[in-house]
């Protein structure tokens, strides 16, 4: 893959429009605005907020996270790993009589099985989080938005991406203003 293709793929490139962005000062305004924009038929929407704004997902149509399932599988894997390890060590690989106890018994696998279950789930949710979010990714076109640095402070940004079929820089910017967003800009990748 050459550089241009790569840039295309992640939407970077001179004179390449990435999105139209606008800012709200209150979360509920963002939700409101987002909902309206969506009603206009936009589908490729995103928001950037300093804290999780309740209702925004439904408003701009962000699908619920699937992270849960990943964790379920990994927890099962963790539990299995523990029991297999203890069984293999005790009953197969190195059979030693310890205090007259059997080579393998479920009773003494419980604590470690539990711990590994937890450990694996934790890894799943932690790494899952970043993988699902496509992070770490140190650069993102939205950072070119003049107010981007305030998205982690006190501004609530709405993003309408350029790959939206209904996207057209001017009209989209208009729409965005019409729902009450300020500082509307066309952001280039």
60 binds another protein (CB under 8 A): yes
Burial grade of 180 (CB within 10 A; 0-12, 13-18, 19 or more): middle
Minimal distance, residue 164 CB to another protein, in Å = 15
Site for another protein in 33-52 (CB under 8 A): 35, 46-52
Contact 164, 42 (CB under 8 A): yes
Minimal distance, residue 72 CB to another protein, in Å = 10
Query: Out of 67, 77, 80, 186, which residue is the one contacting another protein (CB under 8 A)?
Result: 67
**How far apart (Å, rounded) are the C-alpha atoms in residues 73 and 76?**
5
Task: Compute CA 132 distance to the chain's CA centroid, rounded to the nearest angstrom.
Answer: 5
Site for another protein in 160-189 (CB under 8 A): none
Site for another protein in 95-154 (CB under 8 A): 96-102, 105, 107-109, 111-112, 114-116, 118-119, 121-123, 125-126, 128-130, 132-133, 135-140, 142-143, 148-154
For 134, left (φ over 0), alpha (ψ -120 to 50), or beta? left
């Amino acid at each position: 893959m050459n550089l241009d293709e790569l840039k295309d793929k992640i939407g970077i490139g001179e004179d390449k429009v990435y999105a139209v962005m606008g800012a709200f000062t209150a979360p509920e305004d963002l939700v409101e605005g987002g909902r309206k924009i969506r009603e206009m038929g936009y589908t490729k929407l995103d928001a950037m907020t300093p804290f999780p704004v309740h209702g925004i997902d439904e408003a701009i149509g962000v699908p619920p996270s699937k992270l849960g399932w990943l964790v379920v599988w990994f927890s099962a894997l963790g539990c299995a790993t523990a029991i297999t390890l203890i069984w293999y060590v005790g009953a197969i690989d190195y059979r030693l009589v310890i205090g007259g106890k059997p080579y393998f018994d479920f009773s003494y696998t419980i604590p470690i099985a539990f711990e590994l279950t937890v450990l694996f789930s934790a890894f799943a949710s932690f790494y899952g989080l970043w993988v699902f979010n496509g992070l770490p990714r140190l650069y993102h076109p939205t950072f070119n938005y003049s107010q981007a640095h305030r998205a982690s402070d006190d501004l609530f940004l709405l993003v309408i991406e350029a790959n939206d079929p209904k996207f057209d820089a001017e009209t989209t910017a208009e729409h965005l203003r019409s729902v009450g967003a300020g500082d509307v800009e066309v952001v280039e990748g």
